[in-house]
């Protein structure tokens, strides 16, 4: 069986380093591994509209931003089909048929959607009266549309963050239900989680559980070098590490979480001088040695932050440069998306035809 990847992002903002370590970096590795027959990466504008119906400009603008982030991170349109969800209208059609295979009760149990409804203030008011918020039906159903995204391409592998686990589980249920009710047309996908625990969900610079635009705690791929340095300087560390000489905590210390996600041993050769100071100097060979010293005391937050800033710049600098290059020719970026969307549409149309045949709604063939 062909090995096929499908994954994607909602275009509601520029991508940040949480996206990078959580998914983007891995996608580029998978793309270049040669282990997959086809790779599809989707800009999920239709899904973004499920909770941004009143803000089409935001979604539209972010199509290009996200495409630039993809190209900058190293996705290559020659190897990966990058496309826009709404252009592939077959996905909407598939969603409508899958809706019959899922209960409202099943959707209501989806922990990710539950958390998102709460975060967005969509929940009903206490007395059950109709408040102005409420949950858009489209938003409530987006996990079903996500199953359509995945199955339309017969994806075997879906590289996503852990918060997407309930969506993949639902997709698998839909596939089993469809295949047993109609005919074995669809493929059950496997989730591919990030391999480094620090990357499962990178916290915000303020130490809060998640990087999010609304919390203002993100480092963006498009941020310039000075902005990244400033954001690192203001980062949350260990509130108990008041004096340099105090023993420090590494767990829950955001600076160390970022180092876990970005730091390689070679960085100590390159940026070791960050640990040379007026009062004390260290010569570390790897991150474990830094952690040990921090726990013991005597290692100041400033040194580690300087080191982290250098480590981040080592990764983000080249990405930023590539992004600026691609941004010089937006029509070329749009053309790449258009071509990818046409390609994606052909594949989805084939699956939809098989689905309709299995469902016996191919009356005129
Ligand atoms: N829900 C994903 C996110 O918020 C985006 C997405 C839409 C997706 N459809 C998908 C991811 C299909 C993987 C597979 O980032």
Atom 5 (ligand 1): residue with closest C-alpha? 9
Centroid of chain to Cα 86: 19
In this structure, what token pair is assigned to residue 228?
């990244």
From ligand 1's centre to the CA of 243, what distance in Å? 44
Q: What does the alpha-carbon distance between residue 61 and residue 11 come to, in Å, rounded to a whole number?
A: 8
Question: 289: how many CB neighbours lie within 10 A of its CB?
Answer: 14
From ligand 1's centre to the CA of 338, what distance in Å? 20
Condensed to tens digits (0 to 9), the pLDDT of residues 157-197 reads 999 988 899 999 999 999 999 999 999 999 999 999 887 77
Annotation: CATH topology of 225-323: Tyrosyl-Transfer RNA Synthetase (1.10.240)
Atom 3 (ligand 1): residue with closest C-alpha? 9
Which candidate, 134, 176, 115, 116, places its Cα nearest to that of 151? 176
Centroid of chain to Cα 171: 18
Condensed to tens digits (0 to 9), the pLDDT of residues 121-139 reads 887 655 555 555 789 999 9
From ligand 1's centre to the CA of 44, what distance in Å? 7
Mutate which of 5, 42, 151, 212 for ligand 1? The one with the most ligand atoms within 8 Å of its CB, which is 42
Q: What does the alpha-carbon distance between residue 191 and residue 188 come to, in Å, rounded to a whole number?
A: 10
Q: Is 298 exposed, middle or buried (0-12, 13-18, 19+ CB in 10 A)?
A: middle
Q: What is the pLDDT of residue 304?
A: 95
pLDDT in tens, the chain (365 residues): 899 999 999 999 999 999 998 889 999 999 999 999 999 999 999 999 999 999 999 999 999 999 999 999 999 999 999 999 999 999 999 999 999 999 999 999 999 999 888 888 887 655 555 555 789 999 999 999 999 999 999 999 999 988 899 999 999 999 999 999 999 999 999 999 887 776 777 899 999 878 888 888 999 999 999 999 999 999 989 988 888 999 999 999 999 999 999 999 999 999 999 999 988 899 999 999 999 999 999 999 999 999 999 999 999 999 999 999 999 999 999 999 999 999 999 999 999 999 999 999 999 98
From ligand 1's centre to the CA of 70, what distance in Å? 15
- Output the CA angle 212-214-217, nearest 5 degrees: 50
* φ, ψ for residue 7, nearest 5 deg: -155, 175
| CATH tag, 4-202+330-358 | 3.40.50.620
From ligand 1's centre to the CA of 153, what distance in Å? 14
Domains in the chain: boundaries: 4-202+330-358, 225-323
Q: What is the pLDDT of residue 198?
A: 67
For 313-323, give one letter per residue: b (16+ CB within 10 A) or e: bbbbeebbebb
From ligand 1's centre to the CA of 347, what distance in Å? 18
Atom 14 (ligand 1): residue with closest C-alpha? 7
From ligand 1's centre to the CA of 9, what distance in Å? 5
From ligand 1's centre to the CA of 178, what distance in Å? 21
| Residue ranges around ligand 1 (CB below 6 Å) | 6-10, 44, 47, 146, 149-150, 158, 160, 164
Mutate which of 47, 81, 145, 174 for ligand 1? The one with the most ligand atoms within 8 Å of its CB, which is 47
Q: Which residues contact 343 (CB under 8 A, 6 or more apart)?
A: 81, 83
In this structure, what token pair is assigned to residue 107?
């959707």
Atom 9 (ligand 1): residue with closest C-alpha? 146
Mutate which of 41, 44, 119, 190 for ligand 1? The one with the most ligand atoms within 8 Å of its CB, which is 44
From ligand 1's centre to the CA of 266, what distance in Å? 34
Mutate which of 11, 112, 149 for ligand 1? The one with the most ligand atoms within 8 Å of its CB, which is 149
* φ, ψ for residue 111, nearest 5 deg: -65, -35
Q: What is the pLDDT of residue 16?
A: 94
């Amino acid at each position: 069986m062909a090995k096929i990847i499908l994954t994607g992002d909602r275009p509601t903002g520029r991508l940040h380093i949480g996206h990078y370590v959580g998914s983007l970096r891995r996608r580029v590795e998978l793309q270049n591994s040669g282990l997959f027959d086809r790779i599809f990466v989707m800009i999920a504008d239709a899904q973004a509209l499920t909770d941004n119906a009143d803000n089409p400009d935001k979604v539209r603008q972010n199509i290009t931003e996200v495409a630039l982030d993809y190209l900058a991170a190293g996705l290559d349109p020659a190897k990966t089909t990058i496309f826009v969800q709404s252009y592939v209208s077959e996905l909407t059609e598939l969603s409508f048929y899958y809706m019959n295979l899922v209960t409202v009760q099943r959707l209501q149990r989806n922990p990710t959607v539950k958390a998102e409804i709460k975060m967005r203030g969509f929940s009903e008011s206490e007395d059950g009266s109709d408040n102005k918020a409420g949950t858009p039906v489209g938003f409530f159903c987006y996990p079903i549309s996500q199953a359509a995204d995945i199955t339309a391409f017969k994806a075997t592998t879906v590289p996503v963050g852990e918060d997407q686990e309930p969506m993949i589980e639902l997709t698998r249920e839909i596939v089993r239900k469809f295949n047993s009710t109609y005919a074995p047309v669809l493929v059950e996908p496997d989730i591919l989680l990030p391999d480094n625990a620090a990357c499962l969900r990178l916290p915000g610079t303020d130490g809060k559980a998640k990087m999010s635009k609304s919390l203002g705690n993100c480092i963006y791929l498009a941020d310039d070098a000075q902005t990244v340095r400033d954001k690192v300087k203001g980062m949350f560390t260990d509130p108990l590490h008041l004096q340099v000489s105090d023993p420090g905590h590494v767990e829950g210390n955001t600076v160390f979480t970022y180092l876990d996600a970005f730091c390689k041993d070679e960085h100590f050769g390159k940026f070791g001088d960050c640990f040379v100071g007026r009062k004390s100097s260290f010569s570390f060979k790897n991150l474990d040695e830094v952690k040990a010293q921090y726990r013991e005391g005597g290692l100041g937050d400033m040194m580690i932050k300087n080191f982290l800033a250098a480590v981040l710049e080592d990764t983000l600098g080249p990405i930023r440069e590539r992004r600026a290059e691609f941004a010089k020719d937006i029509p070329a970026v749009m053309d790449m998306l258009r071509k990818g969307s046409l390609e994606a549409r052909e594949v989805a149309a084939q699956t939809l035809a098989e689905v309709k045949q299995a469902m016996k709604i191919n009356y005129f063939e």
